Structure 1
Amino acid sequence: MRNSFLPILPRRRMLLAATGLLAAPPAIPSAAAQANWPTRPVRLVVPFAAGGATDISSRIVAQKLSEVLGQPMVIENRPGAGGTVGVDTVAKAAPDGYTFAFSGLSTTALAMGLYRNMPYDPVKDLVPVAPTVLVPIGIAVRKELGVSTLQEFIAHLKANPGKLSYGSAGNGSSGHISCVGFLQQTGTQAVHVPYRGSGPVFNDLLAGVIDFTADAPGLIKPHVDSGALVALVMATPERSSLLPDVPTSAEAGLPGYRAYSWFGLFAPAGTPQGIVDRLAAATETVLTDPSVAQKLSGDLGLPPMTGYTPARFSVFLREEIEYWVPLVRASGARAD
C-alpha cells in the first residue's frame, strides 16, 4: 500500500504512422486469446543497466510471475536517457500483451519535468498495470573523503564548491533529482556524472572516479559493510531496516529533505483490459508471497507496494505527476 511519506494530493498512443500511406493499427487479441493469455514468453523491458535497484527487484518479480502465469517473463535491459529509451520502446510496441515496461518515478513524473520533448506521454501512451516496490533513497560517499556525518559532508562541499562529483543512473533519474534537491537545500554545488544504471555508478564510486551518490539502501549496504563507503543519511521519516545506524534527514540536521522512487509495470496503450487485469492480479499474488516480500523488503530494503488495482495505480501516477513536475521544473534541472 501507499507508504505514509508518499505525497497525497487532490486530485496518441493510437496515432497512425505516416509513411505515405496510413499504417494499419496493431491487431488487438481476440477475447479467446485474452482469456488464454499468456501463451508464449512475455518481454519485460527494464530501462536501466543490470545491477541497479530496478533491475534486481524486477528480476525477483519476473521470476515469480513466470511461475504464477506459466510462461517465461523475459527481462530485457534497454538503458539510455534516464530510462526513457527503454520505456519508449514499450510505448511504441504492439499492445498485444507480450511487451511491458518496468517504469517508475524517474521515467514518468520526473522525466516530464526534465525533458522538453518527451518521446512518449506517460499518461496517454502507457497503461499503469501495477506498482511493484517503493525505493527509499540515501546518500553515500566514498570513505576517502574523510567525512562521517551529513553536516561534515555539507561543510566539505561548501569549502570545495563545484569540485566534487556525484553519479546517478542517468539524467532525470531519481538519484539525479535526489542529489539536485540536496544540493539546493544545502546551498552547495557538485558536478553531475550520469551513467546507464546504478551498477556503473557504484563501480566508479568505489574506484574514486566520483565522490558520492544517492541510491537505494540495498545497493549502498554491501559497500558500507565492507568499509568502502559511508552512508550519511536516509531521506525518509524512518530509518532503513538494512542500514539501522544511518540517521534520517531530520536526525541528520536536514529536516524536510526527502527522496524516494518507485517502480511498476506498464503496458502500451491499447492493451486489452482483460490482460492488464490478469497481470495486475498476478503481480499482487507475487508481491504478497512471503518469500518474495522477504527478498524485496528484508534483503533489498524495497517495500512491496501491494493493494493496488490498475485504476488505483493510475490515480497514484497522476498524483505523482502533479507533485513532482512543478518541483523538478522549479529546480531548474534539465536533461536535454
Structure 2
Amino acid sequence: MTISRRTLLASTAGMLAAPAFVSAQGTTWRPDRPVTLIVPWAAGGSTDQMARIVAVELEEALGQRFVVVNQPGASGSIGTRNVLQAAKDGMTWAAGAAVDVGCYKVNGLLDTMLADWHLFFTVANVNTISVNPRSGFADFGQLLQALSTRRDIAVGTAGQSSAGRNMMETIRQAAPAVNYRHATYDGGNPAVLAAVAGEVPVVAQLLVEMAEMIRGRRLVPLAVQAEGPITLQGFGEIPSVRRWLPNILAPLNYFGIWVPKGVPEAVSQTVSQIWETRVKNSARLKEYAESRAAVFAPLHGQAAYDAAWVMVRQTAWLYHDAGTARVAPDTLGIQRL
C-alpha cells in the first residue's frame, strides 16, 4: 500500500507519553521544546518524504515535536550550514543524502566531512532516469544513442551535487561520448514535475521521487543505477543501466538524519537507542521503502559511516574527473575505490 500524503505530513500535537531511553552513561536526552529538523531541499522530494516519517517516529519516542523546515539552495549546503552553525545542544538536526555531506568540502560548498556528524540512516535510494511519455525514447539504449550524438537534450536534476547529476556523470564516465544540457532545479520533486510537464524531456533523480508519476504513467522509467533490475510496486520491473553499460558503478545512496558532533553525548546515545528499539522496527519506514522500491537500511554510528563511505569515495572522484571538484579528494583522505 502506498503511504499517503496525510501520513507523510502527520505531526504529533502536544506532548506524548514516551518510554525512557537511557544512554550508556545512565543519562537520557529529553528535549524540553520542539526540535528543528532542517531539510536542505524543496518540499515533496526524497529527503522531505523520509524526514517527515522520521519526525513522527521521534515525536512518539521522545514526547516532543520535531518540526520539519525546508531550506533549499546551493545543492543542500545552505540548510546544512545552518545546522552546523546552530547551538550544539541537539535541538537542530539535518536530513539528506550522506554522500552530499561527504562531498561538500570536495565541491567547495561547505567545510565539513562525513566524520563530523552523528549519522542515523533510514533507507538507501536508487538513482533512476525517466522520460516524458512524449519524448520519443522507448528504452535507455535509444536515449544513450541520442545523448552520444546530440548536444541539445535537457536532463532535469536537483542540482550540481544531486543524485541525478551524479548518475548522469557516472553514465558519461562509462560512455565518454555522452553529453547533455543540464537543467537544475531546487529539489528532486521540482525536477520530476518539470519532466512531467514537458519542460524537460528527461529527468535523472531518485526512484522514490518518481514512483507516483511512474505508476500514473506520467513518466516512463528507462533504467535504474543498480546492480540488477528493480521492481516498483504497482508498476513492474525497471531494468538496470548495466544492461547497456555493464561496468558502471552502482553503490547504495544512504539517506537519513544527522547532528553535528559536539552535541551532548546523551543526545546521540538516546537517538541510537531509539534507532535500535524503534526505527529498526518501524512499519511506517518499511512501508515507505517497499512502496517506492527503496532499501530499508536503519543504520547508525560506525556501521552507517562505513556504508556511506563507499559512495562518498566514488562520487568525490567522479566530481574530480569531471573537473567540477574544488579540492582534490586525496588531500582530504578520500581515496579512489
TM-score w.r.t. the length of structure 1 is 0.81
Residue 67 of structure 2 is aligned to residue 74 of structure 1:
yes
Check whether the contact 1:287–1:305 (CA below 8 A) recurs between aligned residues: no
Deviations 1:257-285 (A, max 9, x none): 24442212221231112211211221344
Compute the displacement of 1:292 (Å). Answer: 1.9
Residue 270 of structure 1 is matched in structure 2 by 262
Q: Is the 8 A contact 1:181 1:331 kept in 2?
A: no
Does the 8 A contact of 1:109 with 1:321 survive in 2? Answer: yes
Counterpart of 2:83 in structure 1 is 90
Instruction: Name the CA distance, whole Å, in 2 between partners of 1:146 and 1:322.
Output: 36
| Runs of 5+ unmatched residues, structure 1 | 1-31
Contact residue 286 and residue 296 of structure 2 kept, 8 A: no
Give the superposition deviation at 1:34: 6.0
Counterpart for residue 256 of structure 1: 247
Secondary structure of 2:104's aligned partner: helix
Q: How many pairs are equivalent?
A: 300
1:330 to 316, 321, 337: 321
Percent identity for Structure 1 against Structure 2: 24
Rate the CA distance shift 1:322–1:279 in 2: closer, same or farther, 3 A: same
Supply the distance in 2 between the matched residues of 1:290 and 1:317 (Cα, whole angstroms): 21
CA distance in 2, matches of 1:39, 1:330: 47
Quote how far apart the aligned CAs of 1:53 are.
0.7
Bigger CA drift: 278-287 or 52-61?
Answer: 278-287
Q: Is the 8 A contact 1:140 1:232 kept in 2?
A: yes
Report the 3-state secondary structure (helix = DSSP H, G, I; strand = E; otherwise coil) of the residue aligned with 1:118.
Answer: coil
1:106, 1:172 within 8 Å by CA — same for their partners in 2?
no
Letter in 1 for 2:315: W
The equivalent residue for 2:38 is: 45
* 2:195 paired residue among 186, 192, 205: 205
Q: 1:105 aligns with which of 70, 73, 98?
A: 98
Shift of residue 290, structure 1, vs aligned partner? 4.7
By relative contact order (CA 8 Å, sep 6+), the higher-ranking structure is: 1
Superposed CA offset, 1:2-42 (max 9, x none): xxxxxxxxxxxxxxxxxxxxxxxxxxxxxx99624222211
Provide closer, same or farther for how the CA distance between residues 284 and 141 of structure 1 changes in structure 2, counting only shifts above 3 A.
Answer: farther
Change (3 A) 1:152 1:335: farther
Contact 1:106 1:173 survives alignment (8 Å): no
Flag structure 2 segments of 5+ consecutive residues without an equivalent: 1-24, 328-337
Match of 2:297? 305
2:168 matched to 1:179?
yes
> What displacement does 1:219 show?
2.4
TM-score norm. by structure 2 comes to 0.81
Change (3 A) 1:67 1:80: same
Root-mean-square deviation (Å): 2.5
Give 1:106 deviation, angstroms.
4.2
Structure 1 CA distance for aligned equivalents of residues 99 and 308 of structure 2: 12
